Amino acid sequence: MERKANIAILVSGGGTNLQALIDAEKSGIIHSGRIKLVISNKAGAYALERAANAGISSLVITKKEAGSQEAFEDKLIEALENAETDLIILAGFMSILSEKFTSHFEKRIINVHPSLIPSFCGEGFYGLRVHEAALAKGVKVTGATVHFVNEIPDGGEIILQKAVEIQDGDTPEILQKRVMEQAEWIILPAAAEFVSSKLLLN
């Protein structure tokens, strides 16, 4: 049986990007990796149901139960190593990870951000806030970026970007949906495949 990179996906909410990754694995877009584990930092996240529906193992690890950020990250590392994780994908994971964690998995954590980095990124820019800022600035083009994760929020090396046009009458919610459909759900699976295939060569 050919070796595949083991992928773990970290989630906090509904899991729309997780679903895009599950669908991409099913359709063969992701063929160098397999989604082996989903970890949520929120109990009851709908992403956990998506994982169950796809037959993927899942865990809940919360900072509150762990008692501190350090203990939380230690539990994450333990779970990821037990699953022999090669690649970690942050899919709407609402927790900043420390340098200790990111350096432990250097060049093995990727994230999708809903803008063309370096625009509208960094601390405080997440979810609808990104799209609100893009519309407030009056930019004509936005998009999404997949990047490696380091200790600086949205600061890691860029892997893929895709542009999305802003249209008259866009609200943050409309723009968020278009950026997901036209950019995030396309480049996140593509980047997962690209990085998985690279990891297999090492």
Query: Would you say 132 and 122 are in contact if contact means Cβ atoms under 8 Å apart?
Result: no
CA–CA dist 138, 173 (Å, integer): 16
Strand order in the sheet with 87-91: 57-60, 33-40, 5-11, 87-91, 109-113, 141-148, 158-165
Which positions are annotated as active-site residues? 113
Q: Per-residue b/e over 130-157, b at no fewer than 16 CB within 10 Å?
A: bbbbbbeeeeeebbbbbbbbbeebbbbe
Question: In one letter, which amino acid is 190?
Answer: A
At 24, give phi and psi (nearest 5°): -70, -35
CA–CA dist 151, 146 (Å, integer): 16
